[in-house]
Structure 1
Amino acid sequence: MKIICALFGCLILTSCFNIDRNCADYKTGTFQFNYLEDGIKKTGKFVRTEAYSIDYFDGKIDSSSVRWINDCEFILTNLNPKSNQEKRAIHMKIISTTEDTYTFEYKYAVKESNRPNRVVKGTAKKVD
């Protein structure tokens, strides 16, 4: 019985914790993040304005429009898609922020009925 009460008390204390999100600080700027491609760690960079995001990956440049839902969520739509997969909009959500980084998650904005909607998490660092 004591164990159940202790677990319940921990649950109550941890459920009251609020994650700090100053999303407005990350609406625009230059950002870097690390990602894995074929088991190799790489660094990507992007520049985001209120309306656009310009991505730099492996020497390639790609542009997307940005439509903000609220201060912490936005939709990215590729401006020059080269495949059907690139035509699909991406829903980005800022989960938490620190002084110079933010943690985000993203998934396709529209779920396909025959596939699970995979959610991917990452961290971006503001460099400018």
Structure 2
Amino acid sequence: MFVLMSSCYQAERNCEAFKTGTFEFTTYLEGEMQTTVFKRTDSLSIETFKGKSDTASIRWINPCEFILTDLTPKNSAEEKPLHFKILTTSNSQYTFEYALVGATNKQRGTATKVK
């Protein structure tokens, strides 16, 4: 009976609660923990990292997936859009995976909603 109950469990996914707002994402980069802050509206994401801001357009595919396209790419790598998928949510955090559109090597992260 326990096996049946555990196989029916689904992680919470209230993606609408994370469509807009201000978020923090912390990751281990270049040998130390780095934090990015980004503010997301229905159509834009403004990211601030190490005191520099960058703006990307957002196109929502469905309530839990979106495409980010850099509006001011500085090189050819930044011209490629990123695909994000929200996997799970909680009160103030969501876990997501992301990759270049069409790529199979996805990475994961967790963002915290601060506003």
Scaled to the shorter chain, the TM-score interval is: over 0.9
**Shift of the alpha carbon at 1:17?**
1.2
| CA distance in 2 between partners of 1:38 and 1:55 (Å) | 19
Alignment of 1:12-31 (within 5 A): 12-31=4-23
Between the two proteins, the alignment pairs up a number of residues equal to 115
Q: Is 2:112 the partner of 1:120?
A: no
- Aligned-residue RMSD, C-alpha: 1.4
Compare the two structures and name the one with the higher strand fraction.
2
Q: Which runs of 4+ in 1 moved over 3 A?
A: none
Q: Is 2:27 the partner of 1:35?
A: yes
Instruction: Give per-residue Cα distances to partners, 1:56-78, cap 9 Å, x unaligned.
Output: 00111001000000110000000
**Shift of the alpha carbon at 1:13?**
4.0
Identify which of structures 1 and 2 has the higher relative contact order when contacts are C-alpha pairs closer than 8 Å and 6+ apart.
Answer: 2
The residue type paired with residue 107 of structure 1 is A
- 2:37 matched to which residue of 1? 45
- 1:102 matched to which residue of 2? 94
Determine helix, strand or coil for the equivalent of 1:14: helix
Q: Which has the larger radius of gyration?
A: 1
| CA distance in 2 between partners of 1:83 and 1:16 (Å) | 46
The residue type paired with residue 31 of structure 1 is F
Compare the two structures and name the one with the higher helix fraction.
1
Alignment of 1:58-97 (within 5 A): 58-97=50-89
